[in-house]
Amino acid sequence: MAIKFDFNRMRTAVAGWLSATDSTGASLTAGEEAVYVPKMRSARIVENVLADIELTNEDSGKLLLVNPTAETTITCPAIGNAGFTVDIVLTEGIAATDGSMDQVVNVSFGQGDNIGQVHEVDGTAGNFAVTGDDFFVFTAASTPGDRINLVSTGTQWIAQAYVKDLSDSDFSANATTIA
């Protein structure tokens, strides 16, 4: 079985190279094996989410644009896949107006001692995840553009969120409401 490969496509995906090093990461000397690390061009996969979705390992690296037609739950995959990452951004498909999401969006981490912070742009100091916070809840009063980034360590989720108003979007022990 022959494998077709287009080297021109691969060549144009490389934007440049980091400085060459030896196999231990130190400067090169004559006769050493050189390690070259490419600077790769890439594009993210963008997916529109209108209803409940259970993420799988294949969703890692995606940007999810959430414009729900009803209360929506985004369920993270099992925590064991270290390096899984996803960005979730609320959108109404229009210019943002304060508190105009109209639907609840729950992000379910599953159980675990997750860590993270939520930063508010409306003036409050923000908040952080505590034991038992198995959800991040965007209430119906959330604002388009509110977002959360998730990364799995293999044993817990690291969450970084940026929201307009902390009273409308925050970590929670349960779905649908902030508690």
Q: What digits encode the pLDDT tens for the residues 81-133?
A: 899 999 999 998 666 677 788 899 999 998 777 899 999 987 777 898 888 89
Indicate whether 59 belongs to any domain: yes
Question: Is residue 121 located within the same domain as residue 100?
Answer: yes
The total domain count for the chain is 2
Question: Which residue's entry shows tokens 């929670």?
Answer: 172
For position 1, what pLDDT does the model report? 56
User: Do 95 and 18 share a domain, yes or no?
Assistant: no
Residue 179 belongs to a domain: no
pLDDT over 90 at 12, yes or no: no
**C-alpha 113: how far from chain center:** 18
- 104 and 22: one domain? no
Candidates 176, 174, 100, 108; CA nearest to 138 is: 176
Does residue 177 sit within a domain?
no
Burial class (CB in 10 A: 0-12, 13-18, 19+), 6: exposed
User: What tokens appear for 78 in the block?
Assistant: 């099992």
Residue 108 lies in a domain: yes
Range of the domain at 19: 7-38
Residues 20 and 78 in one domain: no
Residue pair 176/137 in contact by the 8 Å Cβ criterion: yes
In a domain, 2, yes or no: no
User: Do 58 and 132 belong together in one domain?
Assistant: yes
Average pLDDT, the chain: 88
75 and 136 Cβ atoms separated by less than 8 Å: no
Lowest mean pLDDT segment, chosen from 58-62, 127-131, 136-140: 127-131
Global pTM reads: 0.82
Examine the pLDDT at 44 and tell me if it is beyond 80.
yes
Q: Report the distance separating Cα 154 and Cα 174, nearest Å.
A: 23
Q: What is the distance between the alpha carbons of residues 84 and 77, in angstroms, rounded to a whole number? A: 9
Question: Per the domain annotation, does 178 fall within a domain?
Answer: no
Residues 74 and 154 in one domain: yes
Largest CA distance in the chain: 65
